[in-house]
Amino acid sequence: MTAAVITGASAGLGAEFTRQLVREFPEIEEFWLIARRVGKLEELAQQFPEKKFVCMGLNLLDPKSFRYLGEKLAEQKADVRVLVNNAGCGTTGNIGSSASPADVMRVVDLNVREFFSIQPGFFFENRSYDYTIVRHESATQSLYNELGHTRNYSFNIPIMASFRFNLTDNLEWLAEAGPYFAFGVGGFDKNHQIYLQVAKDPQQQLSKYYENQIRRDFYGKDIWNHKKFDWGFKFGTGLRLHKRYLFSIHYFAGCKNVSANPDWTMRNKSWSFSLGYDF
């Protein structure tokens, strides 16, 4: 079934768009009219008794209205050939004086929300990695080997600018970027140390060898510890299917040196992959 969807169709440009579409596109089987005043939509539909109209009293400032419309389109298997996005919201006066913050946000919410949004987040992260340090000193003919395993916990707060683009009726492409701030709350570093020193004379026996296992805090002020606060930038992209199912990939680029050792430079770099469901 082919359809045309016209929002804000109760009066003005929306009503006139509807009249013109009925005349110019006779092949369209159904015209879906959307506005808050459903009575006005029904009066408009009565002007064309030979055509089939679906009149819906929806408030597009309410996210539930978008969800309801999407479900009805899927249920009826509507093939939308024409979309007139005429619904709007406005106010008069100078921003910041006569227009209240609530009025301004209503305008932004309706006219921008479906394409762009600022999305803060709050995550608890559990990270782990293994490392190996090998150091050789030729003067003493010694070899130092260190095998470590770490696990750390932190709260991560990203503030993302999110852009959404429709690829098909049911598929959206997402592009996101913004800063993040992380606060460490705990963790540990398990370390296995091996020290070997060989005598300069091959005929002599091994002069020194020892092994040691230690466990130390991940965060702290010791030269082997890490700083608790981190910040950087998060970039990502993803796909959302049927407004519900989400797959995304993000890259974290840390900007702060998180090593407690003044002679070392360490910055967090990581990738994350996400599968989600939008309720």
**What is the spatial distance between Cα 152 and Cα 185, in angstroms, rounded to a whole number?**
8
Whether the CB-CB separation of 151 and 126 falls below 8 Å is answered with yes
Nearest CA to 90 among 66, 115, 61, 64? Answer: 61
**What is the spatial distance between Cα 73 and Cα 3, in angstroms, rounded to a whole number?**
10
Whether the CB-CB separation of 252 and 201 falls below 8 Å is answered with no
Whether the CB-CB separation of 9 and 17 falls below 8 Å is answered with yes
Per-residue pLDDT tens for 87-146? Answer: 766 556 665 555 565 665 555 555 556 677 888 999 999 988 898 988 887 777 788 888
**Cβ atoms < 10 Å from Cβ of 236:** 21
Whether the CB-CB separation of 171 and 239 falls below 8 Å is answered with yes
Residues whose CB falls within 8 Å of the CB of residue 32, separated by 6 or more in sequence, listed in order: 3, 4, 5, 6, 53, 54, 56, 78
| Regions in the chain scoring below 70 on pLDDT | 61, 88-114, 169, 199-207
pTM: 0.58
